[in-house]
Chain A
Amino acid sequence: MSAAGEARAPDVESYFNDLARAVDNALVAGERHATWFSAEDSDFVRMNRGKVRQPGTVSQRFIDIRLIRGARHASHSLSLSGDLHSDSRAIGAAVAGLRDVLPQLADDPHLLLPTTVASSRTTRGATLPPTEAIVARMLDAAAGLDLVGLAAAGPVYRGFANSDGQRNWHVVTTFNLQWSLYHRADKAVKASYSDVAWSDAALDERMRASIEQFRLISAPPKALRPGKYRAYLAPAAMQEIVELLAWGGFSARGLETQQSALSRMRVDARLDPRVQIVEDYAAGVAPPFQAEGFARPGSVPLVVDGRLSGALVSPRTAREFALEANGANGAESPEALSIGGGTVATHDALATLDTGLAVGNLWYLNYSDRPACRMTGMTRFATFWVEGGKVVAPVDVLRFDDTLFRMLGDNLEALTTERELLLSSSTYGSRMLTSATLPGALMSELNFTL
């Protein structure tokens, strides 16, 4: 199997530009359009018990055409075959259908479109090895172990075009390998290797480290009673917390309508002054433009010195609440969230923890009291009981229930100096171009309830 999409990127860009022209040509006088393009050529290989369970390829192209006449607008998203002739016909029919609907709609007071043309073009990533070879290398390295996971690889494309002539193109060729090594039942370690540039040595090193940790998980587990324990959350565990906060927490609309879990930070709630949170578009893999065609700034400060200082503002929210749009997507969810590092070296984290829980991953977080930003979730994968800075035993899964304002506020002892860039492994409908750059966090106590 060749690497998915290899040598296709220039073809897809040219195809996108032809599609944009087809939308332009479908307009009549007085009409405008704003058009979003999303596509990928992905290999997915699912593994279980050290073998291949489901291997396959997905090639998909979607275009979302917003037809605008005055303050009325409507959109049609359609899948495309890749054949320009038939796709141009489908685009013409979609625009005609939208044209028929517009008279039945009301003017939209929240419509906001770019007033300047800001075209851009970015390409990232290099040719990847054949996915079959990547998988064979993974399975060879874990020979004899119960490996379960997914290899996803190939180019992901985003584009924007409008009737003012703006053209934006963004392609990133990434791979994302996620695997777990199971000892028995729910005792396992999880590891990942994701990037835009491939290295055999990097995969081998991560696989070696996961096998080393696997030996620790094989020890008899310790069952802890519910209670408050000192805890170190590794960056992968912090990512679960960040992903819960991404669910409306930094949304300007969520804050304006009191639905954000961080709403109390506008009143009296604070995080520890050492906590700095930034939407750092420049550091991630997200496109430098959003679906309405607004260019994104390099970064958007969200929490400065523990205080809420900003929010993600979409164009609609900007119009609805008289704010300044800042490149956010329609859901106002972060795409490249970054938490600043602290002062404890990662290799000193367990020594600093001394006695407590080292949590490798968290799982299935949700709010138990959203306005209080109180959240609950489970420990999962490599979670260990630590005494005197040394791992003593893996721990049976525990449920925590605590507020962010305690976890990263009063109870925050330290953040690690080093941070990890974690590319999203989400593949719901398509491969996501989101990431988070996160340190580990030491807490004087974390409340475990079950």
Chain B
Amino acid sequence: MPDQSLLDVAAAADGLDADFWSLRFVEETCESFSVQRNVQQPWAVSTDRGVMASVYAGGGYGYAATADMSPQGLRNALQRAQAWALGTARLALIDSRTLPRPAPRGRYVSPSFDRPLPSHSDWYEMLQRESLQAACDPRIVDWEALVDVLKATHRLITSEGGDVVQWHRYLYPSISVTAHADGVTQQRSLNGQRGMCQQGGVEILDRVGFAGSGRRVAEEALELLLAPNCPSGRMDVLLAPDQMVLQIHESIGHPLELDRILGDERNFAGTSFVTPDMFGTYRYGSEHLNITFDPTRPEELASYAFDDDGTAAERTFLIRDGILERPLGGAISQSRAGLPGVANARAASWNRPPIDRMANLNLEPGDATFDALVAGIERGVLLETNASWSIDDSRNKFQFGCERGRVIENGRLGHVVKNPNYRGISAEFWRSLARVGNAETVRVLGTPYCGKGEPSQTIRVGHTSPACVFTNVDVFGGEA
């Protein structure tokens, strides 16, 4: 880890017959505080430490992961990785002799990394307050207030002299409520399942308005119980940021992952409707669409200085004025595809190898106020907070559902509707982006649960988005 002796590392690598090797150490702790139905849930903490050894040898590549970080443990892991590289070199998809051999050096620290956190009893007291406020009506049948507090340290040491250490701290505050009456059940949450997740300390709670949100979320769940079904038909939709993040994630983020485009994911997460020849010319969306890979926003969930292959991270446009410019591909994928990319080779932990992932993928704000967005809609619906997501393996045909809707008629927000869903095709949908909210409508959100890869990995991604209007969308409600 940060105090791992470079002498031990050098001794462990002594005698390897490798073109390149790296050791990637990860230590992560997670504390979970939760109050469910006003009952303190048992406190849980996890401590996970280990190292991933990677070796290029004889044209092949191999990895070995272990939690044994003794000098002998490191040596065993490097040798096992080397054995994989040599043993599979004749079958290898990529000649590892052609790959970059990074030598990064640097540091990264989350905001408020060392700022003190509340005591256990203070956390529980705060959560109990929200829980008690959420239990405001007998129709509230289940409710939970929780916060996960995580610290992670990543260190990458490479045979070329690279040595990077990055310290992160994350908070995931969450509130969810279920209301039920007369055969109807509705759920409401604070920006979805762990949708409110940022880097930093307790200032996050103030920033997201956590205090008092238990009551607000519960009242909105009760309102949904009495609401009519979402209307059906083609209409405009105004997507709130906590639905936009899912829309960006599923129908821009995943299809732009270069390893999907190169076919690595076709047996599991899927392929992409995007092909290599589209970069530089393809109109992905309307001229209002600007998408950046931005690891520099300090509070956003996936900000960092280097990816897990050691590539320095910087803000980069992927889509500018609607035109597709570059994919989400790390150094190895860039080398394979002959395309430019970004620093997004990331691993879920020490026990999984880096692959192309989203990190912070953001939609840049426009200039319309929220009121102006609403005022521009003759017939439509405002959709808030993702509840359901499904998209085909090429990331094209999608259907998404939200927790809450509000009809918009003649430029005015109207009554609340339940079970709102909409569907479309990625390649067409983004071209119907008609208006983009200004910076005041922007929210910094994300998810800790982006899944992908074989073996599979769940990783943190950040998404920052304003509210946006799309025209002529196929909208529908729940079962009649």
A58 to B68, CA, bound (A): 11
- Does B44 lie within 8 Å of A74, measured CB to CB? yes
| Listed stretches A16-24, A359-367, A433-441; interface member | A359-367
- Does B120 lie within 8 Å of A105, measured CB to CB? yes
A285 to B50, CA, bound (A): 28
| Contact status of A380 and B393, CB under 8 A, knowing A108-B42, A150-B268 | yes
CB-defined contacts of A73 to chain B, threshold 8 Å: 42
- Does A60 lie within 8 Å of B47, measured CB to CB? no
CB-defined contacts of B349 to chain A, threshold 8 Å: 429
- Does B185 lie within 8 Å of A259, measured CB to CB? yes
CB-defined contacts of A44 to chain B, threshold 8 Å: 454-455
CB-defined contacts of A179 to chain B, threshold 8 Å: 267
| Contact status of A104 and B120, CB under 8 A, knowing A186-B393, A403-B479 | yes
- Does A56 lie within 8 Å of B353, measured CB to CB? yes
A185 to B351, CA, bound (A): 31
- Does B87 lie within 8 Å of A267, measured CB to CB? no
| Listed stretches A79-87, A227-235, A387-395, A408-416; interface member | A79-87
| Contact status of A80 and B43, CB under 8 A, knowing A56-B353, A257-B178, A378-B390 | no
Chain B interface residue count, Cβ-Cβ cutoff 8 angstroms: 83
- Smallest CB separation, A346 vs chain B (Å): 24
- Does A60 lie within 8 Å of B267, measured CB to CB? no
- Does A149 lie within 8 Å of B351, measured CB to CB? no
* A180 interfacial contact with B, CB 8 Å: yes
- Does B392 lie within 8 Å of A380, measured CB to CB? yes
- Does B47 lie within 8 Å of A76, measured CB to CB? yes
- Does B353 lie within 8 Å of A54, measured CB to CB? yes
| Contact status of A139 and B91, CB under 8 A, knowing A56-B353, A75-B42, A152-B455 | yes
| Listed stretches B2-10, B14-22, B58-66, B296-304; interface member | B58-66
CB-defined contacts of B401 to chain A, threshold 8 Å: 366-368
- Does B456 lie within 8 Å of A428, measured CB to CB? yes
Chain A: CB-nearest residue to B69: A81
- Does A368 lie within 8 Å of B46, measured CB to CB? no
Instruction: Tell which of A74, A152, A186, A377 has the most Cβ of chain B within 10 Å.
Output: A186
CB-defined contacts of A427 to chain B, threshold 8 Å: 454-456
- Does A61 lie within 8 Å of B67, measured CB to CB? yes
Partner of B88, one of A60, A94, A132, A186: A132
Partner of B93, one of A48, A80, A180, A397: A48
| Contact status of A150 and B454, CB under 8 A, knowing A51-B93, A368-B421, A378-B397 | yes
- Does B68 lie within 8 Å of A81, measured CB to CB? yes
- Does A53 lie within 8 Å of B94, measured CB to CB? yes
Partner of A429, one of B45, B388, B458: B458
- Does A76 lie within 8 Å of B45, measured CB to CB? yes
Q: Could you tell me the dominant secondary structure of chain A's interface residues? A: strand
- Does A258 lie within 8 Å of B63, measured CB to CB? no
Partner of A259, one of B124, B142, B271, B348: B142
A426 to B120, CA, bound (A): 34
- Does A108 lie within 8 Å of B40, measured CB to CB? yes
* A304 interfacial contact with B, CB 8 Å: no
- Does A56 lie within 8 Å of B266, measured CB to CB? no
CB-defined contacts of B87 to chain A, threshold 8 Å: 1, 55, 132
CB-defined contacts of B458 to chain A, threshold 8 Å: 428-429
| Contact status of A259 and B423, CB under 8 A, knowing A48-B264, A180-B266 | no
* B80 interfacial contact with A, CB 8 Å: yes
- Does A364 lie within 8 Å of B392, measured CB to CB? yes
A186 to B271, CA, bound (A): 7
Chain B: CB-nearest residue to A102: B43
* A294 interfacial contact with B, CB 8 Å: no
- Does A109 lie within 8 Å of B39, measured CB to CB? yes
CB-defined contacts of A55 to chain B, threshold 8 Å: 60-63, 84-85, 87-88
A94 to B44, CA, bound (A): 12
CB-defined contacts of A135 to chain B, threshold 8 Å: 88, 91
19 residue pairs A–B, Cβ–Cβ below 8 Å? A42-B455, A53-B94, A56-B81, A58-B351, A59-B65, A60-B351, A74-B42, A74-B43, A77-B45, A81-B69, A83-B68, A104-B124, A110-B39, A186-B271, A257-B142, A267-B183, A366-B389, A376-B388, A449-B423
- Does B455 lie within 8 Å of A51, measured CB to CB? no
- Does B67 lie within 8 Å of A80, measured CB to CB? yes
* B451 interfacial contact with A, CB 8 Å: yes
CB-defined contacts of A104 to chain B, threshold 8 Å: 119-121, 124
* B432 interfacial contact with A, CB 8 Å: no
* B478 interfacial contact with A, CB 8 Å: yes
Partner of B397, one of A80, A149, A365, A399: A399
Apart from the given pairs A258-B180, A366-B390, 16 other A-B contacts in the complex at a CB distance below 8 Å: A46-B264, A52-B93, A56-B63, A58-B455, A59-B65, A60-B65, A75-B44, A148-B267, A149-B267, A257-B141, A371-B184, A371-B478, A377-B390, A399-B390, A399-B397, A429-B351
- Does A450 lie within 8 Å of B423, measured CB to CB? yes
- Smallest CB separation, B138 vs chain A (Å): 13
A450 to B183, CA, bound (A): 30
Instruction: Tell which of B124, B141, B390, B391 has the most Cβ of chain A within 10 Å.
Output: B390
- Does B264 lie within 8 Å of A369, measured CB to CB? no
Partner of B478, one of A81, A110, A111, A368: A368
A252 to B40, CA, bound (A): 20
- Does B390 lie within 8 Å of A82, measured CB to CB? no
CB-defined contacts of B64 to chain A, threshold 8 Å: 56-59
CB-defined contacts of A371 to chain B, threshold 8 Å: 184-185, 478
* A96 interfacial contact with B, CB 8 Å: no
* A172 interfacial contact with B, CB 8 Å: no
